[in-house]
């Protein structure tokens, strides 16, 4: 089983590229936001716990998210691996993921990080705001905060995965097909 982690700042094209990666490599895409919504909608015990926390205005603790991910790993059949998007976001979560996978003799296969310059993040998000009508994407201070949060939260993880030799950076500048080709060239090696 393959376990890929997808990194990239807002506007890097993660959503677009994730769809292609899932299709080409027969992966199950695990987006933490979608996973939480799905578990809540299904009324699972973890979903009910998450719903109560969210309704109380609290953040969903790592253990709940990790439990949902582990349940998805164990309950998904007919795929060759998983593409994690939005998890891990902290060193503690990365260590928990490693421990979770180690239980079954597995490990993270690779981190695929789609990188674009900060100036391009602004351009792409402004374009997305226009096309998709996303008012939150149109406010420069919101975009700047997303960029800052990405750098603050991701840089420690980049170091963590570089130390393990699993971190791989992809140039996200170019057409969708060009970036996709770079990702596929990388993933074909695993």
Model pLDDT for residues 120-173, shown as the tens digit of each residue = 888 888 777 777 776 666 677 777 877 887 888 788 899 999 999 999 999 999
Is residue 14 annotated as part of the catalytic site, yes or no?
Answer: yes
* Contact by Cβ (8 Å): 73, 82: yes
Render 120-140 in DSSP notation, one character per residue: HHHHHHHHHHHHHT-HHHH-H
Is residue 166 annotated as part of the catalytic site, yes or no?
Answer: no
**pLDDT score, position 138:** 64
Residue 5 corresponds to which tokens in the numbers above? 């982690």
Q: Which burial class, exposed, middle or buried, applies to 86 when counting CB atoms under 10 A from its CB (0-12, 13-18, 19+)?
A: middle
The residue length of the chain stands at 190
Question: Could you give the C-alpha distances from 161 to 30, 32, 43, 77, 180, in angstroms and in order?
Answer: 19, 20, 34, 27, 22
CA distance 47 to 40: 4
* Contact by Cβ (8 Å): 171, 181: no
| Nearest one of 13, 4, 7 to 120, comparing CA atoms | 13
Predicted structure pTM score: 0.84
Predicted confidence (pLDDT) per residue in 98-112, tens digit: 999 999 999 999 999
| Residue 183 binned pLDDT confidence (cut-offs 50, 70, 90) | very high
Among 24, 134, 139, 162, the active-site one is 134
**pLDDT score, position 119:** 84
Is residue 139 annotated as part of the catalytic site, yes or no?
Answer: no
**pLDDT score, position 15:** 86
Among 14, 124, 166, 182, the active-site one is 14
Is residue 124 annotated as part of the catalytic site, yes or no?
Answer: no
* Contact by Cβ (8 Å): 45, 39: no
Token look-up 């406010």 returns: 139
* Contact by Cβ (8 Å): 135, 129: yes
Is residue 146 annotated as part of the catalytic site, yes or no?
Answer: yes
Render 21-64 in DSSP notation, one character per residue: HHHHHTEEEEEHHHHHHHHHHHT-HHHHHHHHHHHTTPPPPHHH
The full set of domains in the chain, from first to last, is 2-187 (3.40.50.300)
């Amino acid at each position: 089983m393959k376990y890929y982690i997808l990194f990239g700042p807002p506007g890097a094209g993660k959503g677009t590229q994730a769809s292609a990666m899932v299709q080409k490599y027969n992966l199950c895409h695990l987006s933490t936001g979608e996973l939480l919504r799905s578990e809540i909608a299904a009324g699972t015990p973890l979903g009910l716990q998450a719903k109560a926390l969210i309704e109380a205005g609290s953040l969903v603790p790592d253990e709940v998210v990790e439990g949902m991910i582990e349940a998805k790993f164990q309950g998904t059949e007919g795929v060759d691996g998983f593409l994690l998007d939005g998890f891990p976001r902290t060193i503690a979560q990365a260590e928990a993921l490693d421990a979770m996978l180690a239980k079954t003799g597995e490990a993270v296969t690779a981190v695929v990080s789609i990188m674009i310059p900060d100036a391009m993040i602004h351009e792409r998000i402004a374009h997305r705001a226009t096309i998709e009508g996303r008012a939150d994407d149109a406010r420069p201070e919101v975009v700047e905060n997303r960029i800052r949060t990405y750098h603050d939260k991701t840089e420690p993880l980049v170091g963590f995965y570089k130390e393990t030799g699993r971190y791989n950076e992809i140039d996200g500048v170019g057409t969708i097909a060009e970036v996709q080709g770079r990702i596929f060239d990388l993933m074909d090696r695993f």
